[in-house]
A and B are shown apart, each in its own frame.
Chain A
Amino acid sequence: MSECLNLDVQDLLPEFAAGVLPASDRVMVEVHLSSCPACAEDVRLLEAVRRARPVVPHIDVAAIVAALPAPPSVVQEVPTLRVITGNPSAPPSVVRPSRRQDAPAAASSRATRSWFRGPGLRVAAMLTVVALGGLSLEIARRGQSALSDATDSVVLSDAPMIVADGSDVNASRPYADDVTPIVPVVAVAPSVLPVQELSEYTDEELALLLARLEAWDGAPTVEPDAGALPPAGDSSRGDTTRGSGDSNEASAGVAR
C-alpha cells in the first residue's frame, strides 16, 4: 500500500478517529478517505489504538483533594488576628504585628512586656514579699498571744491546774476527759508568778528561802522534803510555776 502524501489530512486523523473533529474538517477528511486506502487503514488502526487505552483504575478524588496544599488566600488568612471593635457594624481591623502600619499596637504590646520585665515586676515582687511577711508576722503574733493566753490560764499538766482564783482549769474544759491533756511546753510563763507575794513572807522565811536558793544548784539530788517548805498562808495555793507535769516536782523545786 502506497503512503499518502497529504500531510494536512494525516495530521487530522487522530482527531477524526477520536470523533472530535469539527464538521467542516470532518467532511474534508471523509472525502479524502473515500479515495485513500492508506489513510483509511490508518484511521482503523488509530481507532483500535484508542480502544486499547489502558483501563483506568478508580481514582480517589477526595483523597487527592485532601492531600492538596491550602489555597494561597487561605494560607494568608490563618496567621491574622481580627480585632472586633465596639462598633459591630464596622469592619474588623486586621492585626499583623509584622506590618509597619500596625506599629502602635505592637508598641503597646512591647510597652506592656517591658513593664513586666522592668522595675514594675520588681516592685510587685517586693510588695508581695512585704505583704506575706506582714501576714506571717501577724499570724505568729496571734499564735504566740494565743499560746501565751493558753499558758497563762491552762498550763501545763495533766494534774489539776490551779490558777489564781483557785479553780480547776480542766474542770472548765469541756470534754476534758476525752482529750489528751495539754503537754507542758513552756517552763515558765511570764505571767505565771508565785501565787504568794514576797511581802507576805516574814523576814526569816525570806532569809531561809534566799539561803536555800543560793545553795540550790538547779537540779534535784534528793527526794523533796514535803515538810521543808514552810507554808505561807493558804497551803492549797500551790506552785504552778514549774511545768514538769508533776505537782510533787513543782513543789520540790520551790522547796529547795
Chain B
Amino acid sequence: MTEAERATDAALDQTLIERWQAGDQRAATAIVERHAPALARFALSLGVREELDELVQDTFVRAFGALDSFRADSSLRTWLFTIERRLVLDRRRAARRQPDHVEVMPEDAATSFHALDALEADETATRVQQAMARLSPMQRDVFTLRVQEGRAYKEIAEVLGTTEGAARVHYHNALRAVKEWLNE
C-alpha cells in the first residue's frame, strides 16, 4: 500500500469514525466491513482457530469503546491489529492457566494451516504456509503484516511493539528463511 493510499484510507476511516461518534450507526457497519476480513486473516496468521468470530467481535467492541483515545498517528487498521494481537496474547495467557486446555501454540500453526486450508489452497500455498509456520512468532507476524496485509514497517512496529528497524530485519530474515525451506 502506497503512502497516498494509506492517506486516503486514513481519511476515510477518520470520516467514518466522526460520523459514528455523531450517532450514525451505518458508519460503524462500514468500518466493520472494511476491516473485519483483515482482522480475521491476521488472527488466522497468529494461529487462532477457535472462536475466530468472537475474537474479531471483541476487537471491534474494545476498539469502539476506546475510539476517543484513538489518535490518527497510525491507521485504524493498524490500531485494530494491535488490539487484536493483545487479545490473542491475553487468551493464550489465560489458556495456560487452565490445565485441561489444549492450546494451539504458534509452532502448531503449520498443522492447523494444513488441516484447515489444504482442500482450498494449492500445493504451493500449502508449502508456503508450512514454511511460514516454522518462523519465529515475531518473524511470522512481521512477514504476515508486511506481505499479506501490506503494512509499512512503521505500522508493523506499532502493532508488534517493536522498532521500525527491528521489523525490517525480521522481515528480511523471514523472507530468507521461507525461501530456503521452500527450496529444500
Contacts and interface: CB of A to CB of B under 8 A. Distances in A.
**A and B interact physically:** yes
Interface string A55-68: 11101111111011
Interface in A38-87: 41-42, 45-46, 48-57, 59-65, 67-69, 71-74
Interface size class of B (residues with CB under 8 A): 35 or more
A41 B179 contact: yes
A57 B120 CA distance: 12
A25 B3 CA distance: 12
A14 B22 CA distance: 38
Nearest to B20: A71
Most chain B CB inside 10 Å of its own CB: which residue of A11, A52, A62, A74: A52
B125 A52 contact: yes
Interface stretch (B50-58, B71-79, B96-104): B50-58
A54 B117 contact: yes
B175 A45 contact: yes
Contacts of A56: 37, 40-41, 44
A65 B36 CA distance: 11
Contact of A54 (B36, B44, B61): B44
Nearest to B56: A59
A72 to B, nearest CB: 6
Given A15-B2, A56-B41, A68 B60 contact: yes
A22 interface: yes
A59 B146 contact: no
Interface string B11-37: 000000000111111001100110011
Given A52-B125, A65-B29, A59 B53 contact: yes
B20 A45 contact: no
A72 B68 CA distance: 9
Contacts of B52: 57
A67 B33 CA distance: 14
B44 to A, nearest CB: 4
Contact of A69 (B41, B65, B125, B146): B65
A20 interface: yes
Contacts of A61: 29, 32-33, 36
B60 A49 contact: no
Interface in A83-141: none
26 contacts: A10-B172, A14-B150, A18-B1, A18-B150, A20-B150, A22-B4, A45-B175, A45-B179, A45-B182, A49-B132, A50-B147, A51-B121, A54-B45, A56-B44, A59-B40, A59-B53, A61-B32, A61-B36, A62-B29, A63-B57, A64-B36, A68-B60, A71-B22, A71-B25, A71-B28, A73-B22
Given A49-B178, A69-B64, 10 more contacts: A14-B146, A15-B150, A45-B175, A46-B175, A48-B125, A62-B29, A64-B60, A65-B29, A68-B60, A72-B68
Going nearest first, the 5 A-B pairs with the smallest beta carbon separation are: A54-B44, A52-B125, A52-B128, A59-B36, A73-B23
